[in-house]
Amino acid sequence: MKKILIGTSALVAAAAFAGSANAADPIKLSIGGYGAVMVGYASNDDAFIRQSGNEVSAVDVKGDNEIHFSGKTTLDNGLTVAVKYEIESGGRSMSDVSDEWSISLSGNFGTIKTGADDNALTMIHNNAPIVGGGLAGGDLLDGAYVVKPGSVSTETDTAIDTNGDREAISYISPSFAGFTFGASYVPSASSTHGDDNPGATTTANTVVSDAYGVGLGYAGKFGDVTVSADIGWLTADTGNQVKNRDEYQAGLKFGYAGFEVGGAYRKINMDGITGQLDADGTVWEAGVSYKTGPYGISLTYLDAKQADVGQTSVTSKSDDKSKALQLSTSYNMGPGVDLVGGLAYVKFDSAGTASTGNDNDGWVAATGLSLTF
């Protein structure tokens, strides 16, 4: 209970500071969001497909669409209250109709945000540059085209997004000389609390819970060169299979005359219990992009590795690996409408071979429309 009270005390204090002031105008929701559809060709390892006993469509159609409802109001005392609700509306995943929501309170002290949304470390993070959102909305390593073997389990983002879309409380400071501080508390990375469970937050004893994260971001300009960077750290309980979990992130990006170049790195340390090996992982990415007028092009590489939990022998130790190299292009056809496409190579690797269903790789070529509204 003490940990939960620590996480919510800042919000209570801010609300008390607001006093009994009334909003000058009531909150009115506006509609926004994005839509994307891609048509593409993908190859898969023949040995991997044969062992599965299934067929895979070489040409596929992929969508990723969301509707966003957002609104805010500024109270007479200067505090701003904002809300956001994101609704899945086709493609990608429809398992959660509403996958993200948040309520925030902002003022001279910064912003306090609660809800099922990105944590503070994700909000300040700098990924490698990419145009058009990347193929399949950036889901290449989730098996959007090239089938991901069930034995492969790796993180796919260099940001510490451990909580996913689970409920958390975060703080983002105002910018001081380009620097921004962020902090988050996540009660549970697997809890259904807030979805269909009105009870207290509980967590299975094998997953992340009571996670605390802090980070520092920077954005500035030196002459004609823009610079953005971040570092972050998160620590959490991880149940009875791992002693503890610590994660680290870092990102750096430079921009000049339409060019952007940058990269990011994430380290995951999970200490094994007595008799078991540590289950550590890494994710890193690097890329370069160029935009001129309505045209954009980028080349990005991402590499992820994760040791399996519960391993006991160094000689037979195995890691799951995921890699993706993609060339992406975009052409702006008008306000909020982009023609996107590209080529990519994806590789998944686990203990075993393609003929045992543990390895797969293939090429992807896709094109489509990306909309924002």
- Judge contact between 112 and 120, C-beta under 8 A: no
The tens digit of pLDDT for each residue in 192-211 reads 434 444 444 444 444 677 88
Q: Output the pLDDT for position 139.
A: 75
- The CB-based long-range contact list for 307-310 (8 Å cut-off, 24+ gap) reads 307/277, 307/278, 307/279, 307/280, 307/281, 308/153, 308/279, 308/351, 309/241, 309/242, 309/270, 309/272, 309/276, 309/279, 310/241, 310/272, 310/276, 310/279
**Domain locations in the chain as residue ranges:** 2-21+32-372
Regions of the chain short of the pLDDT cut 70: 1-24, 91-96, 134-138, 190-207, 239-241, 273-274, 310-317, 352-354
pLDDT tens digits, one per residue of 19-52? 444 546 889 999 999 998 999 999 999 998 888 8
Distance, in Å, from the CA atom of 149 to the CA atom of 72, rounded to the nearest integer, reads 44
Residue 8: what pLDDT? 45
Q: Give the pLDDT of residue 274.
A: 67
Per-residue model confidence (pLDDT) at position 20? 46
Fold adopted by 2-21+32-372: Porin (2.40.160)
pLDDT for residue 306: 87
Measured distance CA(188)–CA(3) in Å, rounded: 12
Q: What is the pLDDT of residue 30?
A: 96
